[in-house]
Structure 1
Amino acid sequence: MSFKIVVIGTSLGGLSALQTVLGDLPSDFQLPIAIVQHRHKDSDDTLRAMIQEFVALKVREVEDKDEMLSGTVYLAPADYHLLVEPGSFALSTDEPVSYARPSIDVLFESAADVYGEQVIGVILTGANQDGMQGLKKIKARGGKTIVQEPSTAASSIMPAAAISAVAVDWILSLCEIAPLLVNLGNSIRK
């Protein structure tokens, strides 16, 4: 069985981290990537444009019921939770989780519910504990978990919280994450 999706969560310092990780992925990377980056509820399309400059893959903000396409990077829009459904995405304006909307936990938990062991969850730099519960659920469902080495993060709180709560598969510096994603994306598990 192969992987179906990569989910990434990040907050403070996330733009630079995403530019590094996504920028190191080849243009033929096949897995869809869904990202929650905490940002102000009134922010515009600037984040997408800033990431696209560094990334060979197509980067887009999710619209409700968007089909999940391979080799595409999907950003949760400001002030919406991003949920994974079979083959597509949904948006929600439910209450913030861990003071955040979009919430990393909401994305990760919905991905785990739909795709179980076919999910790769990644926690990057951030200044709160959002993502910890979601990563725990991905791990419990048999998915793979990757966390940025806290000492290399702009803010170590989020990666450290994830590591404290989850028996993480890999703890890596930013430059090590993309090569691992490529290897996992290319591997067909028996």
Structure 2
Amino acid sequence: MTSQLEKSRTIKVLVVDDSAFMRKVISEMLEEADNIEVIDRARNGIDALRKLEKCNPDVITLDVEMPKMDGLQFLEKLVQVTGKSIPVVMLSSLTTKQSKTTIKALELGAVDFVAKPSGSISLDINKVQEKLIEKVRLAAKAKVKLDKAPSLSNTSLSLKKRKLKRINRNKKNLSQGQRPASNKKLVVIGASTGGPRALKEVVTLLPEDLNAEILIIQHMPPGFTTSLAERLNKLSKIKVKEAQEGDRLEKGLALLAPGDYHMVIERGKVSLSQSDKVHNVRPAVDITMESVIAEYGNNIVGVLLTGMGKDGAEGLKLIRDAGGQTIAQDEESCVVYGMPKAAYELGAVDVVKSIDDIAVEIVRRVNS
């Protein structure tokens, strides 16, 4: 009964783009879907805020670069000016500048983005249309928490840092006999929709002396993973880089799977592959998690963050079955409670935590 209601519910969309042609193209693409209606269009962020005084969309599609008020400025103002938390899907071309801006937009609370091929959505309409409709439908069901300000509060950060310091003090008090036989520990983090913001909340709080190697798998197209790695590296105490063929795993280094490549670990080194997609995604969390079991065994901490689908659930189960430890993000703090839910239902999760507590939990389990 519920699924029938969801299918019949019309999703109201506000299209925001500085190009009249693009507003027309995007609107026409969306309205070909049975349950999507474009209720208004805006030419920039200022115009969009004005339109929101009169209309109440379920989803906003938002261009990255616009005159007067661009996509980032609009996201910063959306809750502050309107008091509304409306799911936003960004439209971004595959340029370095726009991919960096898109990563910042996702940090600010945009649910997802659609990459414009060859820098123009009009060059490959059919390819983009399917993705756009899919992501608008997903966004309509997502939970959003748009920031009034882009950074965490000083109080929140202070509390988390105090917890991390306490855990590190406890680690120093452990006798050698209480430690695992091998010091080689690994943290594997998987994420999808809502992941860039969740990764920022987790990775930027990991201490630089964390006694573990780190792998991150985020569902994202090529180019955008480069920008995500650079952004996380800039904000974090640990080093973060996009993985390359032959990279060696190191303590205090996080390797992020590049877009459109599965990341497999063989004898402590990265091997990249464009083999068939798993769960219709590449990179896939399951592929990476499965590849590390033989080498790291019970010294793995597996983490699943927000995301659609079930990628990572089987991998997390393999980690737990091998004696490793597993953490899943809770429903309340997920943008989309898909991957963590699938893992929980499979019996693959040791502990469920809010995104605010996951960094602390990772450090605690690495040090245990």
TM-score by length of 1: 0.93
Q: CA offset at residue 43 of structure 1? A: 3.5
Q: CA offset at residue 12 of structure 1? A: 0.2
- The equivalent residue for 1:103 is 284
AA aligned to 2:317 is: K
Aligned-pair Cα RMSD in Å: 1.4
- State yes or no: 1:37 paired with 2:218: yes
- State yes or no: 1:92 paired with 2:273: yes
Aligned mates of 2:357, 2:343 — CA distance in 1: 18
- State yes or no: 1:147 paired with 2:334: no
**CA spacing shift, 1:175–1:95, aligned 2, 3 Å:** same
- The equivalent residue for 2:240 is 59
Q: What 5-or-longer segments of structure 2 have no aligned partner?
A: 1-179
1:64–1:90: 8 Å Cα contact kept in structure 2?
yes
Aligned mates of 1:85, 1:6 — CA distance in 2: 16
Q: CA offset at residue 139 of structure 1? A: 1.0
**CA spacing shift, 1:42–1:54, aligned 2, 3 Å:** closer
**CA spacing shift, 1:112–1:49, aligned 2, 3 Å:** same
Provide Cα deviations, 1:91-130, integer angstroms capped at 9, x if missing partner. Answer: 1111110001100000111112321111110000001110
Q: Secondary structure at the match of 1:150?
A: coil
- The equivalent residue for 1:17 is 198
2:310–2:339: 8 Å Cα contact kept in structure 1?
yes
* Structure whose alpha-carbon radius of gyration is higher: 2
Provide Cα deviations, 1:67-96, integer angstroms capped at 9, x if missing partner. Answer: 111100110011110112222221111111
Aligned mates of 2:275, 2:362 — CA distance in 1: 31
Q: Secondary structure at the match of 1:19?
A: helix
1:3–1:119: 8 Å Cα contact kept in structure 2?
no
Q: CA offset at residue 4 of structure 1? A: 1.6
Residues 107-126 of structure 1: pairs in structure 2 closer than 5 A: 107-126=288-307
- State yes or no: 1:50 paired with 2:231: yes
Aligned mates of 2:196, 2:273 — CA distance in 1: 23
Q: What 5-or-longer segments of structure 1 have no aligned partner?
A: none
AA aligned to 2:265 is: V
AA aligned to 1:140 is: D
Specify which structure has the higher proportion of helix. 2
Q: CA offset at residue 175 of structure 1? A: 1.6
- The equivalent residue for 1:28 is 209
The total of aligned residue pairs comes to: 187
